[in-house]
Amino acid sequence: MAEEKLSFQTEVSRLLRIVANSLYSEKRIFLRELISNASDACDRLRYEAITEPGLIDDDPEFRVRIELDPEARTVSVVDNGIGMNREGLIADLGTIARSGTSAYLEQVSGDEAKDMALIGQFGVGFYSAFMVADRVEVTSRRAGEDGAWRWASEGLGEFTVGEAERAGRGTTVTLYMRDGEDEFLEPAGLRGIVKTYSDHIALPIVLADGGGEETVNEASALWTRPRAEIDRDQYSEFYRHVGHAFDEPWMTIHWRAEGVHEYTTLAFIPSQRPFDLFNPERKHGVKLYVKRVFVTDDCAELVPQWLRFLRGLVDSEDLPLNISREMLQNNPLLARMRAAIVRRVLGELAKKAEAEPADYAAFWENFGPVLKEGLYEDPDNRGEILKLARFHSTADGGPVGLDAYVERMKEGQEAIYYIAGEALDSVRQSPQLEGFRARGIEVLLMTDPVDEFWIPAVGTHADKPFRSATRAGADLADIAVEDAAESGEAIDQGRIDSVIAMFKLALKDEVKDVRSSDRLTDSAACLVADEGDLDINLERLLKQHGQIESGFKRILEINPGHDLIRSLAEAVGKGAAAGRLSDTAWLVLDQARIMEGETPPDPAAFSRRMSEALARGLDAG
């Protein structure tokens, strides 16, 4: 077959444009990505060869060679791993399989610093070659197949694929260096870079720089070395390799379990939130190795979903090397390792939360929403996870834990109060919080969608029930007001009752009930959910996801200390015109809806009432 010209998937072209504009200040990371891919390719073949030894009979020693040719201005990374055939080259090097990529790349702004952070979260892998090369050729032969193929591109929207020659299986990636990128063509300089990026790799990495050949790394699996012999940089490099990551690990957890079962775990928590954390299809989690041989990076049994931000590996001494997919499911050994990993990670997090609260807060900001899923998915670890949970709150100061919250509860306060909503800024403004503020009661601000699910599942903490500040049952009457100036003097009960009666008459079935409220100081009214009904925020979430169509009716609470309610009471007392009173009642309701972030269901009527009220106000003044 002759050479074919093909176009990159749009996302790849877009990514390549960003890469070619060299967003990384550290261009040399291209070598890390290529060595990493070469080592992965060897790992994958080594595993396949367990059941099909014929695949590697002719060349059983896995290795990666870096070949420098200063004359030709090329650097090549050569492996004898699994290789790619024509389809593989097109699919793997012409498209990006990660879903959500397109939407993610839309965010690229042209602002270099911003884009750099963005792409850092994403990772460019193979395409980083185009930071330093103006032409890249990949010659590959898939293990067990006869033909070889060459993929080539200048990184400008198109690539070619055609038949080629290659002596054995594996892949050669050749970079034709751009003018000016001479740093990578100097034998001494290149050696240093290769050393940095191959130190933790378990295969021999051989450098052939024209002057001769040498193996530059120790070629022993990093995780098998004693902790004391591994420095921070080595851990970081390994993390980037195993996690396909570009940041620093926020936490490194490395231990060896000895006893009935032996296994080594080397797990990392990233310092940046990966772009696809909430994408259920994402891979590259914790990899499973058996006796140093890579088995799979897709072992759902090894780490629970709610720890899906973990990166790294577990290397078991006890599982059989030829373990099949079916054997991985419901495997008691895996279940035991999983329980131990969970315990260990939660334990390390607890230590960190205690010792370095500010640093811990950064972790929580990134991964708290994922960890909280464990509160309803894993009742066994609920207590530990609750201890780790941090919340924004109406109190000043940093995020607060539940124990600290309970400690600062007010006298007479029976419940842990929270308010749920979409964004911190808007929930902070909720009128429902006014009465809590006046009493100095702290309210937790919950803005993650998962909050609506774990709170009912958990129910209480330290025997205190969780209670939404937007619910009728949040009874503040028994708690003293600290700041009396904040709430106006309430009118007497008889007059409130007549205002309430007027509201009910005017609004009829539009609301479930109308009540006088303790929870307001500045606003005239607010909407709350009745005890047994869905929380307002949850209802909004479910509506957005098309889970429910019509909502629950709400209770309208009015503030007996507010000027408007007082004037209304007077007007009711004087026997004002029913139409005018009713219009005011409707305006109060629509206002309360607006404060909830909703639009009045009948904007035309709202606007008419508002205009008339304003005109009357101007006439009177």
Cβ distance to ligand ADP smaller for residue 76 or 537: 76
Region from 79-87, 180-188, 504-512, 560-568 binding ligand ADP, contact rule CB under 6 A: 79-87
Minimum Å gap between C-beta 345 and ligand ADP is: 24
Could you say whether residue 148 binds ligand ADP (CB under 6 A)?
no
Cβ distance to ligand ADP smaller for residue 84 or 476: 84
Region from 7-15, 33-41, 401-409, 455-463 binding ligand ADP, contact rule CB under 6 A: 33-41
Cβ-contact 229, 301 below 8 angstroms? no
Count, residues in the chain: 621
Q: Contacting ligand ADP (CB under 6 A), which of 80, 153, 171, 468?
A: 171
Could you say whether residue 244 binds ligand ADP (CB under 6 A)?
yes
Q: Contacting ligand ADP (CB under 6 A), which of 16, 35, 41, 75?
A: 41
Could you say whether residue 285 binds ligand ADP (CB under 6 A)?
no
The separation between the first and the last C-alpha atoms of the chain, rounded to the nearest angstrom, is 89
What gap in Å lies between CA 8 and CA 90, rounded to an integer? 9
Q: Contacting ligand ADP (CB under 6 A), which of 81, 270, 421, 560?
A: 81
Cβ distance to ligand ADP smaller for residue 126 or 453: 126
Cβ-contact 446, 428 below 8 angstroms? no
Cβ distance to ligand ADP smaller for residue 48 or 92: 92
Minimum Å gap between C-beta 63 and ligand ADP is: 13
Q: Select the residue whose beta carbon is closest to ligand ADP and give its number.
A: 125
Minimum Å gap between C-beta 128 and ligand ADP is: 8
What gap in Å lies between CA 537 and CA 315, rounded to an integer? 44
Could you say whether residue 126 binds ligand ADP (CB under 6 A)?
yes
Minimum Å gap between C-beta 38 and ligand ADP is: 5
What gap in Å lies between CA 430 and CA 455, rounded to an integer? 20
What gap in Å lies between CA 223 and CA 221, rounded to an integer? 6
> Taking Cα atoms as reference points, which of 243, 322, 343, 320 lies closest to residue 53?
322
Region from 35-43, 286-294, 463-471, 572-580 binding ligand ADP, contact rule CB under 6 A: 35-43
Could you say whether residue 92 binds ligand ADP (CB under 6 A)?
yes
Q: For the window 416-455, what string marks contact with ligand ADP as x by the rule CB under 6 A?
A: ----------------------------------------
What gap in Å lies between CA 619 and CA 597, rounded to an integer? 31
Cβ distance to ligand ADP smaller for residue 39 or 517: 39
Could you say whether residue 18 binds ligand ADP (CB under 6 A)?
no
Cβ distance to ligand ADP smaller for residue 167 or 358: 167
Long-range CB contacts (within 8 A, 24+) of 120-123: 120/246, 120/247, 120/272, 121/246, 121/247, 121/272, 121/273, 121/274, 121/275, 122/275, 123/244, 123/245, 123/246
Could you say whether residue 304 binds ligand ADP (CB under 6 A)?
no
Residue 257: what are its φ and ψ, rounded to 5°? -95, 125
Amino acid identity, residue 151? W
Minimum Å gap between C-beta 371 and ligand ADP is: 25
Residue matched to tokens 């970081």: 236
Cβ distance to ligand ADP smaller for residue 46 or 244: 244
Amino acid identity, residue 317? E
- Angle between helical axes of 29-51 and 232-243 (0-180°, round to 10): 60
Q: Contacting ligand ADP (CB under 6 A), which of 15, 65, 79, 304?
A: 79
Cβ distance to ligand ADP smaller for residue 32 or 540: 32
Cβ distance to ligand ADP smaller for residue 95 or 498: 95
Cβ distance to ligand ADP smaller for residue 169 or 519: 169
Strand 311-316 versus strand 286-290 pairing type: parallel
Region from 19-27, 67-75, 78-86, 557-565 binding ligand ADP, contact rule CB under 6 A: 78-86
Residue 167: what are its φ and ψ, rounded to 5°? -60, -50
Distances in Å between the Cα of 358 and the Cα atoms of 353, 363, 364, 367, 441 are: 8, 9, 10, 15, 24
Cβ distance to ligand ADP smaller for residue 125 or 435: 125
Minimum Å gap between C-beta 153 and ligand ADP is: 13
Residue 150: what are its φ and ψ, rounded to 5°? -120, 130
Could you say whether residue 82 binds ligand ADP (CB under 6 A)?
yes
Minimum Å gap between C-beta 166 and ligand ADP is: 12
Minimum Å gap between C-beta 210 and ligand ADP is: 23
Could you say whether residue 125 binds ligand ADP (CB under 6 A)?
yes
Could you say whether residue 16 binds ligand ADP (CB under 6 A)?
no
How many chain residues interact with ligand ADP (CB under 6 A)?
15
Burial class of residue 284, CB neighbours in 10 A (0-12, 13-18, 19+): middle
What gap in Å lies between CA 467 and CA 473, rounded to an integer? 8
The token pair at 264 is: 């080594």
Residue 4: what are its φ and ψ, rounded to 5°? -110, 145
Minimum Å gap between C-beta 296 and ligand ADP is: 14
Minimum Å gap between C-beta 219 and ligand ADP is: 18
Burial class of residue 322, CB neighbours in 10 A (0-12, 13-18, 19+): exposed
Strand 286-290 versus strand 249-257 pairing type: unpaired
Could you say whether residue 172 binds ligand ADP (CB under 6 A)?
no
Minimum Å gap between C-beta 46 and ligand ADP is: 13
Minimum Å gap between C-beta 125 and ligand ADP is: 2
Q: Contacting ligand ADP (CB under 6 A), which of 66, 75, 84, 541?
A: 84
Long-range CB contacts (within 8 A, 24+) of 400-409: 400/442, 400/444, 401/353, 402/461, 402/462, 403/462, 405/442, 405/444, 406/461, 406/462, 406/464, 408/442, 409/441, 409/442, 409/464
Q: Which of residues 188-207 bind ligand ADP (CB under 6 A)?
A: none
Cβ distance to ligand ADP smaller for residue 45 or 337: 45
Region from 51-59, 75-83, 182-190, 221-229 binding ligand ADP, contact rule CB under 6 A: 75-83
Residue 459: what are its φ and ψ, rounded to 5°? 80, -60
Specify which residues 471 forms β-bridges with. 529
Cβ distance to ligand ADP smaller for residue 193 or 450: 193
Q: What is the DSSP string of 150-194?
A: EEEE-SSSEEEEEEE--SSSEEEEEEEEPTT-GGGGSHHHHHHHH
> Taking Cα atoms as reference points, which of 171, 138, 170, 135 lies closest to residue 154?
135
Minimum Å gap between C-beta 175 and ligand ADP is: 13
Give me the residues that bind ligand ADP (CB under 6 A), please.
Answer: 33, 37-38, 41, 79, 81-84, 92-93, 125-126, 171, 244
